[in-house]
Amino acid sequence: MDTHVHDRRRFLALAAGAAAAPLLTACGAGFGGDDGKSDGSAADDVTGSFDWKREKGTTVKALLNKHPYTDALIADLKSFTAKTGIEVEYDVFPEDNYFDKLTVDLSSGRASYDVFMLGAYMVWQYGPPGWLEDLGPWMRNSAATGAEWDQADFFPNLLRADQWSLKAGAPLGRGGQYALPWGWETNVVAYNTEVFRKLGLKPAESFDELTELAGTITQRAPGAGFDGMYGIAVRGSRSWATIHPGFMTMYARNGLRDFTVDGGKLTPAMNSSDAVAFTEDWAGMVKRGGPPSWTSYTWYQCSSDLGAKKAGMLFDADTAAYFQAVKGASPASGKIAFHPGPKGRDGSLATNMWIWSLGMNAKSKKKSASWLFLQWATGKEHLRKSAVTHNHIDPVRKSVADDAAYKDKMRHLPGFLETFETVVDQTKIQFTPQAQFFDATTSWAAALQEIYGGKGARSVLDGLADDLAGKVG
């Protein structure tokens, strides 16, 4: 009997071993990380005169987020292939899981995709591990980049926003160019003109006024024929995305910082006394005139409430309002106007922004073809076409912003162009670049929710600062 047991045990061990062995050898140590960075840029290998057809016959793989800008890009891909002879294969995923996909894919160290969409904040997470190609050498190489690309045509703050030295706390605009701005969003106030007219209201010029205004709408609009309408829609869910639109914009307009940087060391500043006071005021505004069930609000809820005439105002990306305002999109279309939003200390209109950028995988085997794609996708020709014939609004290029056909198209939206022109020079990334951005802003959103729920702002924000001090260095 005993021997049987031994036999069986040995058998089991063998069976387990047999199953695992091939996998073990296939996997090595099992980490997905990189195999060392190479010196020098592949851009240096491109010599001679610039030629769009240089890489014809190649196929480039792109990972794209579902977005109207993407729709415009996909619609125009034929002209890219005609121009270069390069085919583009692409996968499109919705925003909810796009970044999970991209992050996991990049972290595996594989070049599944040559080019992809990302935001400026992602550069802070993807740049330091060496996942992103520095595009600077490509831009500077006249053999790789055609003269018509015209770097000076970009709004300079946008180009700078994707430029970083990969050191926590180091200002943007220095170091490598880890992505190119392609489409962007400023965070401003959009409002329902109908309710403003009926109640005789004017857009707020200061934050106190905005709070008043939001409270007034919540109080008076339902009685004036706007069933269930409240004052102002802002995001409130437990996500990093809650912080960066309206909240960060108003925070920056009040001259507040997320971190202070001293000799390369970051100190959380969300608990400075001014920041505590402002955060309390923000939570107070939400309570007086914000959406019910605010803590579940993502941009879906915010923008659909504006469209459904449930929100009198929206303090969020201008695009979130724009896509409710276009003809036939929602009950509120034709009744949405734009305003830069309240001014901060000393009349500041500092505005935070989101930039849909295009980046290149540092592991790509087709960098030269990928660069031609990025060059085309951020070039004047495509961007103008997609702005005029599609919904690629908020141009990253001055030439498109000034284009008569584009302006004509946008003119029917009251205040849109004026607002854009007012804030564009003061719009930049208002956060301090550092790799733990997503952790920091997610915790920040959770803290905001707790303050809104009635906890003391001082102690909650002190706790947040303590927690972050250990993580961000």
Partner 1 sequence: MRLALRPYLLIVPALLLTCGILYPFGLGLYYTLFDFSASKPQPDMVRFENYTTVFTQEAFWNSAWVTVLYAVGAALAETVLGVAVALLLHRSTIVGRILEKILILPLMIAPVIAAIIWKLMLQPSVGVVNHLLRPFGLGGVQWTDTPTGALLSSIAVDVWVYTPFVAILALAGLRSLPASPFEAAAVDGAGWWYTFRRLTLPMLWPYVLVAVIFRFMDSLKVFDIIYALTEGGPGDATVVLQIRAYLEAIRFQRYSFGISYTIVLWAVVYLAAMVLVKHLGKIQRKAAEVTT
Partner 2 sequence: MRKRALGWLGDAALILYFVFALFPIAWMVILSLKPADQLFSTYFSFSPTLDGYRTVLGDSEGIPFVRFFVNSLVVSVGAVALSLVVGLPAAYASARWRFKGSENLMFTLLSFRFAPELTVIIPLFVLYQKLGLFDTYVGMVWVLQLVTLPLIVWIMRSYFADLTPELEQAALLDGYTRKQAFFKVALPLVKPGIAAVSLLAFIFAWNNFVFPLILTSNEAQTVTVGALSFLGGDRPKYNLTAAAALVSVVPPLLLALTIQRYLVRGLSFGAVKS
Token reading at 113: 């995709």
Examine residue 456 and tell whether it contacts partner 1 (CB under 8 A): no
Token reading at 349: 């209109």
Examine residue 238 and tell whether it contacts partner 1 (CB under 8 A): yes
Q: Which does 442 bind (CB under 5 to 8 A by kind): partner 1, partner 2, none?
A: partner 1
Q: What are phi and psi of 236, to 5 degrees?
A: -145, 5
The stretch near partner 1 (CB under 8 A) out of 199-207, 270-278, 291-299, 364-372 is 291-299
Those residues whose C-beta lies under 8 Å from the C-beta of residue 343, and which sit 6 or more positions away, are 205, 206, 253, 349
Nearer to partner 2, 32 or 255 (CB): 32
**What part of residues 99-138 is at the interface with partner 1 (CB under 8 A)?**
99-100, 103-104, 107, 109, 125-126, 128-130
Cα angle at 385 between 52 and 162, to 5 degrees?
70
Q: Which does 452 bind (CB under 5 to 8 A by kind): partner 2, partner 1, none?
A: partner 1
H or E stretch covering 324: helix 318-325
**E-assigned strand segments in 423-467:** none
CB of 121 to partner 1, least distance (A): 12
Examine residue 283 and tell whether it contacts partner 1 (CB under 8 A): no
Q: Which residues pair with 92 in a beta bridge?
A: 64
Q: Contact at 8 Å (CB) between 130 and 34?
A: yes
> Among 156, 223, 225, 228, which residue sits at the site for partner 1 (rule: CB under 8 A)?
228
CB of 304 to partner 1, least distance (A): 7
Query: Position of tokens 């959770």?
Result: 446
Examine residue 308 and tell whether it contacts partner 1 (CB under 8 A): yes
Q: Which does 328 bind (CB under 5 to 8 A by kind): partner 1, partner 2, none?
A: partner 2
In the DSSP assignment, the letter for residue 148 is: G
Distance CA 420, CA 416 (A): 6
Of the CA atoms within 13 Å of residue 98, those in its CB half-sphere come to 19
CB of 279 to partner 1, least distance (A): 14
Examine residue 63 and tell whether it contacts partner 1 (CB under 8 A): no
Q: Site residues (CB under 8 A) for partner 2?
A: 5, 8, 23, 26-27, 30-32, 65-68, 71, 74, 91-98, 100-101, 104, 108, 110, 112, 300, 303-305, 307-310, 319, 323-324, 328-331, 333, 391
